[in-house]
Every structure is written in structure tokens, then in C-alpha cells.
Amino acid sequence: MDHRKLHPDTLLTHEGRERGRVGGTVNTPVYRASTLLFPNVETLQAQNGTLNTYGRHGNPTTRALEAALAQLEGAHAAMLTPSGLSALTTALLATLKPGDHLLMTDSVYDPTRAFCDQTLARFGIETTYYDPLIGAGIAGLMRPNTRVVFLESPGSLTFEVQDVPAIAEAAHAHGALVMMDNTWATPVHFASFRHGVDISIHAATKYIVGHSDVLMGVIMTTEALYPEIRGFYKQLGLSVSADDAYLALRGLRTLSTRLERHQRNAERIAAWLAEQPEVGRILYPALPGAPGHELWKRDFTGACGLFGVEFKGVSERAIHAMLDGMQLFGMGYSWGGYESLILLTHPDAHRSATTWSAEGPLVRLHVGLEHPDDLIADLDAGLQRLRATCR
Ligand SMILES: *Cc1c(COP(=O)(O)O)cnc(C)c1O
């Protein structure tokens, strides 16, 4: 059977599993290993230069996860890293050298921005931030030394949907690589490589693991870029434990099922919020009429439970009153687990090429797998507290 023709749901169930395993277990076991033993010198020497000589280069559990993720997104190969941020920084360092120029979306995850402004700058790599909605206009910012164009779509906190094919076409015409943080859509809902991306990065911490208990990142590449990036990754000495890889594989099996419910709940809650007088724009690309909806519909096959809610005519103090008393929505960073989260955000603090203007505070919701009626009741009580503060 040609696995490239299977649907994501089927791949999620069948990739990263070997038939005929000792003991016949459904799941690839946890292979904890630093040292690998060889029966004789000849066998050992035959493996030198491969990934099969030492535990740091992986084990059957991490490899099963890498294979499943690569197959799912249509990548040549995947590399696991200890966090999403380490996947981003590793991919940037692997591809850039002193004197190179990087084009970075202004809507990028803030720690990625900090890495560009501090570490890459120290290494003589210049970053120019661009408007996430620039599309083919990116061509006007390309320089002869532009090596990487970095996208994150939808953007962190503000959820701009980027025209990935148009940006990728312009980048490739100028000989630059296209790198993308694809965490929001997961490998299930945005086929990055089919849209011109060369290097796709995920915080697996979010939906892939899906249970708020493991930090992990993944870098996926085309065949052409794989040797260079794998080589650098290996030199950095990054490795991920088999136990964590096992948990991520376990999360992966239900990824599309969970996403479907996250999206359905998020759509219900977004529609309910849109009717509240204190709510301005809803920044959820899956919602008809929301910013980026048309591009989302063109390029994505689904959404998740993460979106932004703009309030209007209310103070931050009123938002505090709403958020401080939530019973079901937890307050915390991260997202992508089964549980609902709520967070007050300040996107204006993380911009340089564009300005963020809104009629009031911006709140980020991660809609979990709870019953949406209960979540709406929690939000409704929160809005009552907000209104009491405004009065
Ligand atoms: C959380 C997040 C990251 C970083 O992942 P960690 O595993 O927390 O390091 C990167 N990009 C995006 C879009 C994220 O939301």
C-alpha cells in the first residue's frame, strides 16, 4: 500500500509502528538507551557515520515519532528537539552564517524574535521584520544576501494568516529558503511542503503531545536540506528522551480527533463571544468573516482551539476581574493540551515593522475538550464580573 495516498487519520494510526515486533505490542516500546553494543569490530565500524552508533543520535522510539511526523506533513525527514524554541533556534543557526540577512514576520512568537535580535545579531546576521500580510510584496525586501524568509501562520497572539505560496514563490525566485513555524495548524491541517515551505517547525509541546506534560520540538525538512541540517543538529548534541517520545507518539494517535473537537468547541464559543457587546474582533481564521478567513479556507484543511478576542471600551482592570475568577479556563502560558486556557496578551510589545491597534485589551483563549456549554457559562460569569467593574 502506498502510504503517501493514505488520509491523515489513517497515517496517525499506522505510522511509527512496526509490524512483527517482538512480543507483538501495538505500540513501539520505550527504548531507554545511551550505550549501544555491537557484536564485533566489523559490525561497529560498519555503523560509523550512521545514526545507529550511540543513544544521542536517537533510538527506535524517537525514530518512530520522527518517521510518523515526517510522513504526516510530507517532509523528507524530521528531527526532535528538547523544546519548540530549540527547534526554531537550531533551524535558524543551521541555515544562517555571518553576513546573511533574515526576513522575519512581525507576528512571530516573541522568544524567536529575542533570539534574532540578540543571538543572531551577535553572530553578524541581520534581521528585517516584515508585515505578515505582505504576500508577494516580500520581493521588495529581498536582498542579495537574504538567505531565509521565516513565516509563522497564523501569527502568535494576533493570528494573521500569511499567503505562504506567494511568499515562498518570491523567496525561491531570489534563492532564499522558506522556514515556517507551523505549530497552530499542526502537521494535520497545513501541508507546509506542498505550499512551498522548505523547513517546517513545530512546538510539539502543544497539540502533538496534547496533554500538557512534555516539552518537545520538531524540525522537518526537504530532502535537499536534510544533510546540512541533520549535520548541524548532531553537532549541537540535541537529544530527546525515549519516554518523552513515547508520550508524544501517544498524543499523536488522537491528534486529528482532538483537533476536530477543539475546532468545533472554538467555533461555538467564538460565535457566542461575537454577540457580546464588549467584544470587538474575533481573531480566529476559521470563523467566517474573521481576518484571514479566505486564505485559511484556501490553504488549510482545519483549525484548532486557539484564537484571540479583542475587547472594546473596557479597561485592563475589568479584564483582570473577568480572568481572575475563571473556574474552568486556567491561566497560563502554552496551549494545545486538552484543557481550556485564558491569557491577557500585549502584542504591541512584540512589534517593530507594524503597529498593533485595537479598541481594547486582547485576550487569548485556548478552547479545550470540555463541553462548550460549560465553557460558555464560565465565560458568561466572567463577563458579569467584567461588567460589574465597568459600572
Ligand atoms: C509555544 C510555542 C513555541 C515554543 O515551544 P516550546 O516547546 O514552549 O519551546 C514556538 N512557537 C509557537 C508558535 C509556540 O506557540
CA dist., res. 32 & res. 214, Å (int): 17
Are residue 61 and residue 154 in the same domain, yes or no? yes
Nearest CA to ligand 1 atom 6: 84
Mean local confidence (pLDDT), 155-167: 97
Are residue 208 and residue 64 in the same domain, yes or no? yes
Could you report the per-residue pLDDT of 230-271, keeping only the tens digit for each? 999 999 999 999 999 999 999 999 999 999 999 999 999 999
Q: Active-site residue numbers?
A: 56, 109, 181, 206
Domain containing 346 equals: 255-390
Among candidate residues 197, 227, 253, the one where a domain is terminated: 253
Nearest CA to ligand 1 atom 8: 84
- Cα(142) to ligand 1 centroid in Å equals 27
Among candidate residues 253, 268, 287, the one where a domain is terminated: 253
The sheet with strand 177-181 has its strands ordered as: 77-81, 217-221, 199-203, 177-181, 146-152, 101-105, 126-130
CA angle 281, 269, 310 (to 5 degrees): 20
Q: Is residue 341, in this structure, part of any structural domain at all?
A: yes
Residue with cell 505550499: 195
Which of 86, 109, 201 to mutate to test ligand 1, by most ligand atoms within 8 A of the CB atom?
109
CATH of the domain at 57: 3.40.640.10
Are residue 89 and residue 50 in the same domain, yes or no? yes
Domain count across the chain:
2
- Cα(182) to ligand 1 centroid in Å equals 10
- Cα(203) to ligand 1 centroid in Å equals 5
Confidence of residue 391 (pLDDT cuts 50, 70, 90): low
Tell how far CA 277 is from the center of its chain: 32
Is the bond preceding 154 in cis, omega lying within 30 degrees of 0? yes
- Length of the chain measured in residues: 391
Are residue 137 and residue 232 in the same domain, yes or no? yes
- What residue type is assigned to position 277 of the chain? P
Nearest CA to ligand 1 atom 14: 203
Q: Do residues 290 and 281 touch, judged by C-beta distance below 8 A?
A: yes
- Alpha-helical (H) ranges within the chain are 8-14, 41-47, 60-73, 84-95, 110-115, 121-122, 164-173, 186-189, 226-236, 242-252, 255-274, 293-299, 316-324, 372-390
Question: Considering the entire predicted model, what is its pTM?
Answer: 0.97
CA dist., res. 225 & res. 95, Å (int): 9
pLDDT value of position 20: 65
Confidence of residue 50 (pLDDT cuts 50, 70, 90): confident
Whether the pLDDT of residue 369 is over 70: the answer is yes
Are residue 267 and residue 337 in the same domain, yes or no? yes
pLDDT value of position 282: 98
Atom index in ligand 1 nearest the CA of residue 204 equals 7
Residues with CB under 6 A from ligand 1: 83-85, 109, 156, 181, 183, 203, 205-206, 215, 217, 334
Among candidate residues 221, 253, 285, the one where a domain is terminated: 253
- Cα(96) to ligand 1 centroid in Å equals 21
Could you report the per-residue pLDDT of 23-38, keeping only the tens digit for each? 888 999 999 999 999 9
- Cα(38) to ligand 1 centroid in Å equals 38
Q: Is residue 2, in this structure, part of any structural domain at all?
A: no
Are residue 221 and residue 346 in the same domain, yes or no? no
